Structure 1
């Protein structure tokens, strides 16, 4: 995990410094003299050799220092931590909906194998999985926001609304109404993985001896499916949830931009457009940290839920 984070940090360092434009293009005013521009370069350490900048960069990362945003004129760490809760709320709410739906419907489709319901449902699931997220988001906006007016078109709060703190904001009906469409967009796109994975696992488990024994005992179909088959088919699905969190945060870039959701993904796009390299670098790095941590959590969960893995 440490090696992966070091590699990502190194790639980010080189990527922004080897770009053809001036890293301080968004910071330098056109009226600045050559001496003033050189003074700014020296202030940010950009007049030093690349190898020296790299070691200063690594030292600052180890101390939790991500630099200052050119656009907001504030520490990048503060800005990233300010936006991270919005991204995490959107990610977890959409994945909880997607996995709850996918697990239930996937188990039901496995039980209804080779029926009309299964043959009709699988193409629909694959179609929703193949839909581009930005297209699906704009479709939901056109129907439920612009046409029906049921939900807001973007943001996290209505104009002029004030809240005493983050808890008051996140538990308000206003915030939840803004959350519905972006979370639903991601949920529709993401439900295909847990649904198909649960269905596949269920089809394997249904042929196991303990399921056959449960049927011989005369247990009801509900008991056989839920207490015996589905319970044992859940392991790979639950461990995939942790990995999905990491990859969902990467995919949030498009959805947050479509819905003007103030999260890390949208801020990343804005930072790159404005040549705010410290902020873009910090947002990239935070996303990478979450992805790596979620992959580590998935490995730990798998060994916890199935002790046989830790002895393999």
Structure 2
């Protein structure tokens, strides 16, 4: 029962955070200087035509009324109409969201798989030449700007060696029977490789350093000393005892990493012309298409909030010592 109350309480808190995000996004775009429809009103339009266009998008109403209409539409899953595409924002976002999620989670899977294994290994080899060389290298990759790293990989592996395509998700003119056929094709995987590798190289520093730090702390615990006294092999002590107990903070950091990764996607998707939510967000802001930009920001916020809720639930599930008041 206490777990259900904790989940309900946490869900309510996150719902309030989401409401705050929705309100900030609504005000941010509408209070900016200038007419949001300026880029779409032709100079030859009459005053009546301009007013009709403003009324079409609900911009002729008072701000408070627009706000409550917006909240009511959100509760029905309606995100408005894109100025640029003249189509529902929700359709546009959900068409691009799978590409962003695939890029995000594939890069994080590589980053965390490598980071956990390498972090455990470096903790085991504490003070060795391997650790002394690896730590500065990890810090260097973490300090690299994502756009610079992406451009280097693009220049080397695409333009110079020609191993991978430069951008997009499929060859020009390629057609697939379904999204599943596209996402499981060799073409898609080859287009995914460089942007995912860029994000993975940048992101692996967090799980690696966190795993190494946790391992060093855990290996000082009494149960690890007892395992060594029992005569267990180094492999058993490191993997089955130390690494297992050091994993919890690393796994719960995954939710935070999703939020950072979605922000990084904005840059990487633009560099590799990846048709995802981040690239569409940049284009929408540049084109003053605030319903689409607002919807893209909101979708990213929803994903981050959900991942934090999942992390909280997993933390309590994986570690019974954790209790929520």
For normalisation by structure 1, the TM-score amounts to: 0.98
Contact persistence 2:168–2:274 (CA under 8 A): yes
Corresponding position of 2:18: 5
Secondary structure of 2:39's counterpart equals: coil
> Alignment partner of 1:310: what SS?
coil
Matched, 1:247 2:242: no
Task: Report the Cα offset of residue 311 of structure 1.
Answer: 5.5
Say whether 1:228 aligns with 2:241: yes
- Shift in Å, 1:219: 1.2
Match of 1:122? 135
Aligned counterpart, 1:212: 225
Instruction: Give the Å deviation of 1:2.
Output: 0.9
SS in 2 for 1:309: coil
Q: Is residue 209 of structure 2 the alignment partner of residue 184 of structure 1? A: no
SS of residue matched to 1:9: helix
Shift of 1:20: 1.2
Match of 1:157 among 157, 170, 184: 170
Q: Give the distance between the partners of 1:85 and 1:120, measured in 2 at CA.
A: 38
1:246 Cα deviation from its structure 2 partner:
2.5
Q: Is the 8 A contact 2:122 2:130 kept in 1?
A: yes
**2:115 corresponds to which residue?**
102
Structure 2's unaligned 5+ residue stretches are 1-13
Q: Report the equivalent of 2:57.
A: 44
Deviation at 1:196, TM superposition (A): 0.3
In the TM superposition, residue 308 of structure 1 has moved relative to its aligned partner by 1.0
SS in 1 for 2:321: helix
Deviation at 1:50, TM superposition (A): 1.0
Q: Is residue 2:136 matched to residue 1:91?
A: no
Structure 1 gaps, min length 5: none
Instruction: Tell which deviates more after alignment, 271-280 or 41-50.
Output: 41-50
The count of residues paired between Structure 1 and Structure 2 equals 312
User: SS at 1:26's partner residue?
Assistant: helix
Please give the secondary structure, in 1, of the residue aligned with 2:35.
Answer: coil
Q: In the alignment, is residue 263 of structure 1 matched against residue 247 of structure 2?
A: no
- Distance, in Å, in 2 between the alignment partners of 1:194 and 1:12 is 32
| Contact 1:83–1:262 (Cα < 8 Å) also in 2 | yes
Partner of 2:5: none
Taking only aligned residues, the RMSD between alpha carbons, in angstroms, comes to 1.0
- Counterpart CA distance in 1 for 2:34 and 2:155 is 38
Write the distance in 1 (CA, Å) between the matches of 2:307 and 2:102.
15
1:78 counterpart (91, 104, 108): 91
Which of 178, 183, 203 is the matching residue for 1:170? 183
Where in structure 1 do 4 or more consecutive aligned residues deviate above 3 Å? none
1: CA distance, partners of 2:177 / 2:161: 31
Cα distance, 1:215 vs structure 2: 0.9
Matches of 1:70 and 1:47 in 2, distance apart? 15
Once the two structures are superposed, residues 160-180 of structure 1 have per-residue CA deviations (whole angstroms, 9 ceiling, x without a partner) of: 110011000000000000000
Rounded Cα–Cα distance in structure 1 between residues aligned with 2:134 and 2:160: 28
1:21 is displaced (CA, Å) by 2.2
Corresponding position of 2:32: 19
8 Å Cα contact 1:90-1:179 kept in structure 2: yes
Larger deviation, residues 171-180 vs 12-21: 12-21
Query: What's the CA shift string for 1:227-256, capped at 9, x where partnerless?
Result: 111111111111111221232112210000
